[in-house]
Structure 1
Amino acid sequence: MRQPLTTWAAVSFVATMLLSASGFAADSPLVYQGTDGIGSGKHIVFLAGDHEYRSEETLPALARILAKRHGFKCTVLFNVDPKTGYITPGNNNMPHTDAVNSADLLVFGLRFQNFPADQMQPIADYLSRGGPVVGTRTSTHAFKIPATSPFAKFDYRYKGDEMKGGFGRQVLGETWAGHYGRNHVMSTRLEIIPENADHPILRGVENPWVEAGGYWTEPEANSVVLANAQPLQGMTPDSPEADDKKPCPGVWVRTYEGENGNQGRVFTTTYGASEDIQNDGFRRMMINGTLWALGMEDEITGDLNIDFVGPYDPSTFSFGGHRKQVKPQELAGWDSPIMPARDEAPASEAKPAAKKKNGSAK
C-alpha cells in the first residue's frame, strides 16, 4: 500500500538521527567500507549522474558487491539537490568530488553533466594523471560543457584536435553516436568475440544479456572489443535478432594517456542500466572489468562472488523515473534497499515481480 507522506517523513527523520548517531553526517558522501579481501587498501569512486538509466541504482549496487565481497573502499557520489539533499539525477551538482583525490579507480555513470569548477577540477586532475577508468552507458556523453568553460575539452562534441570528441572519445573510446534499437522494445545480446574469449574480463562470463536497447559505436582504433552487441526484437534473451541490426561493439578495453604521460586502463560498455545488472553474465563482466582496470587481472576467477548485497529492486529505467525523496545516506550499510520506494504504486497497480534475468531462456 502507498505510505502516507507523513509516515515517510517520520521514517526519514529517524533514519537521519540514526545515521548521525552512527557517526555519519547526513550530507557526507556514501561510503561502503570493505575489510578483508583482494581489494583491501584500494579506493574506488563511483560517479552516478545520468537522467535515464538509473546509475544511482546500478552503481551503489556494484559498489556494495566490491566492498562487502572483496574488501574495497567504495565511495558513491550522486547528483544531489543542494536545497533538499535528495538524489536528483541529471542536475549538474555532485558534492564531495574531492573524494576523487584519493581514488585508485573512477567508475563513470554520467550523462550531459556540467559541474561547477570546484566539483569538476578533481575529475580533471584524475584524468590528467592517467588514472584508470570504467565507463558505463551514457558516459560516452558524460559531459555537456559550454565552449567558454575551462573544462570545455571534456564536452562530448568538442572539436579541438587535442581532445576531439571529448572525454567519451579520447578516454572511453567513443562519444555519443546515436541509438541503435528501441528501449523497452528491443533488448540486447552481448556476443563474446571468439578470439578474445580468454581475456581476464571474460572469465566465468556466460550468456550476457541486457534489457537496454543498443547504441551504435565505432570505438577508437586501439580498443580491443570483448563483446559485440546484437539488438533483439523482444525483451527476453531468446528473442529473435532484429532483422536490420547487425552487431556492433558493446564492450571493449583500451588505454588512454594522461597529460603526465601515464597510460590509464579503460573498461567501457554502452550498457549498465539499472535492470541490466540483474543478468549474472553482465554483472560478472562489470566486476571483472573493474578488477582488470585496476591491474588486478590475476585476482579474477570464474567463480568470483558477484552476489548482490542487500535488497536490489531496480526501477524500470526512464526519464524522470528515479525513486523520489531519497538521500544518499539512506543507502548506507549492507541491508538498506536500493532504492527505498517512496512513491510506490498501490498493490492493485504494482508491476509483476521481476523474474531472474540470468541470460537463460525461460
Structure 2
Amino acid sequence: MKKNTIIFALLLACMTSYAQEWIRFEGKKGPGKGKHIVLISGDEEYRSEESMPMLAKILAEHHGFDCTVLFAIDPETGNVNPEVNDNIPGLELLATADLMLINTRWRKLPDDQMKHIDDYLMSGRPVVGLRTSNHGFRNETGNYVHYSSTYKKEDPSHPWYRGFGGLLFGDHYVKHHGKHKHESTRGIIAEGAEKHKIMRGIEDGEIWGPTDVYGCRVAHLPITPLVMGQVLERAGEFDKNDRFFGMRPSDKPLAGPKNNPMIPVAWLKDYQHPNGGKKGLAFHTSMGSSTDLENGGLRRLVVNATYYVLDMKVPKKGTKVDYVGTYTTTAYGFMGKEFWDKKGLKPSDLK
C-alpha cells in the first residue's frame, strides 16, 4: 500500500510539472461546449505568446470551448522563450483536439513532438493558421524535413512544396510585399466573399493591422479568398517606441502596383496528407501579430473561421470577440534570447 502511495505521489508530481508548461482554460456555456482547441504559439517576432492566451480566453469564456495554449519552453528554466525553437511541450494533447490553431515560425522540433502534428493532419481535422504559420517549421534533420518551408521549393507541383505551409495553406511566406514596419494592412473583403459565413459581422475595410501584407502565390491556387490586403502608406513619422510604429488605420492606400492587384491575406483551402490522410479544411490569415489582433474585425475573422472549419453555425451578426480581462501587447520585433532569459516568463504568468 505504501509503495502504491509513493508511485501515485510521483505520478501526480510529474503531471503537475508538465501542466506548468502550458495553460488551460475551461469552456463556459456556449456552442463550443465539449470541443477542445489546442493553440500553439512559438514565434520570435509577432508575439504569439501574447495573442494565443487572449484568443483562448475569448473562445472559452464567450463560446464554451476548452482551450489549451502551448508555448516554446526553455527546458533548462521552464521559461517561455520563443528563441528556443526546438521544444513545444504538450503537443500530445492534439490527440484530443477538435481544432489546431497555430502561429509558429521556423520551428525545428524533434521527431517525437512532430509526430503529434503529423498524426493530427493525417486525421484530416481542421486547422486555423495565423501569420508565420505559413512558414511554421524549418526541420533540417529527422523524419519530418518535408515540413520545412524550404522543402521542394523548386517544385510547386509536389504535395509537400514549401512544407507545412504549402500543404495546408498553399505556400509559405515569400517576401514582405508591404514595407516592413512602414506600410500597414487594411482588409478588403474579396469579391464574391461578401456573404461568406466567415465574413459575418465584419465590415469592408474594418480589419486593420500594423503588420505588412505578405507576398505569396496563393492567388494561383484552388483557394477561397476571403480578405484582400490593401497596402497603406504611413501618414505620420516612423516611431520605434510606438507599438504601431507610427502607422494608423486612417492611413491611405499606397499608390502604385502594390495594390494592383491586391494580394489575399485570408483564405480557405482544402488539404490532405499525402500519406493516405483524410481530407481536411484549413483557414489561414497572413495577419496575426498580437498588435494586429487588437483589431476587433480581425479577432472576429479568426473566431468566425473557428466556427466555420468546425462545421458550426456562425451567428448572423458574427461571433462575440470582446476581451476577457485585459490585453496588453508589445510591438512586434526580435527580442533576443538574453531578453527572454532576463524576463523569466512562466506559462502561468500568461493566464
State the TM-score, normalizing by the size of structure 2.
0.84
State whether residues 304 and 318 of structure 2, in contact with CA within 8 Å, keep that contact through their aligned partners in structure 1: no
Alignment of 1:93-108 (within 5 A): 93-108=87-102
- The percentage of counterpart residues that share the same residue type is 37
2:306 maps to 290
Q: Could you tell me which residue of structure 1 aligns to residue 345 of structure 2?
A: 326
Unmatched segments (≥5 aa) in structure 2: 1-11, 235-246
| Cα distance, 1:261 vs structure 2 | 4.3
Aligned match of 2:332 in 296, 317, 324? 317
- CA drift at 1:133: 0.4
* d(CA) in 2 for partners of 1:269, 1:217: 12
Distance across 2 between alignment mates of 1:55 and 1:236: 21
How far the C-alpha of 1:238 sits from its partner, in A, is: 2.1
Q: Equivalent residue for 1:192?
A: 189
> Contact between 1:187 and 1:233, CA under 8 Å: does it hold in 2?
yes
Deviation at 1:300, TM superposition (A): 3.1
Summarize deviations over 1:321-351 as a string: whole Å, max 9, x none: 777221112223xxxxxxxxxxxxxxxxxxx
Q: Is the 8 A contact 1:45 1:99 kept in 2?
A: yes
CA contact (8 A) 1:180 1:215 kept: yes
**Where do 5+ consecutive residues of structure 1 fail to align?**
1-19, 333-362
Evaluate the alpha carbon distance shift between residue 88 and residue 122 of structure 1 in structure 2; reply closer, same or farther with a 3 A threshold.
same
Q: Distance in 2 between matches of 1:59 and 1:295?
A: 22
**1:300 counterpart = 2:315:** yes
Corresponding residue for residue 201 of structure 2: 204
Matched, 1:149 2:142: yes
User: Matches of 1:142 and 1:185 in 2, distance apart?
Assistant: 24
Report how far residue 265 of structure 1 moved.
1.1
Q: Secondary structure of 1:139's partner?
A: helix
Aligned length: 310
Task: Provide, for residues 146-177 of structure 1, a one-character-per-residue CA deviation record: whole Å limited to 9, x for no partner.
Answer: 1x421011111111734111110111222121
RMSD: 2.0
1:27, CA displacement in angstroms?
Answer: 2.5
Secondary structure in structure 2 of the residue aligned to 1:163: coil
Residue-by-residue CA offset, 1:5-39 (whole Å, 9 max, x unaligned):
xxxxxxxxxxxxxxx9xx96562421111132100
Question: Which residue is 2:251 aligned to?
Answer: 239
Q: Which residue of the partner structure matches residue 338 of structure 1? A: none
| 1:17 counterpart residue number | none
Alignment partner, residue 163 of structure 2: 166
CA distance in 1, matches of 2:112, 2:318: 41
Match of 1:47 among 35, 40, 51: 40
TM-score (norm 1): 0.81
Residue 303 of structure 1, CA deviation: 4.6
CA–CA distance in structure 1, aligned partners of residues 311 and 83 of structure 2: 31
Residues 1:132 and 2:133 are matched in the alignment: no
Local SS of the residue matching 1:126: helix
Name the SS for the 1:70 alignment partner. coil
Q: 1:231-270 residue pairs with structure 2 within 5 A?
A: 231-234=231-234, 235-244=247-256, 245-246=258-259, 247-258=262-273, 259-270=275-286
Matches of 2:198 and 2:263 in 1, distance apart?
A: 19
Secondary structure of the residue aligned to 1:283 is helix
Separation in 2 of the partners of 1:181 and 1:303?
29
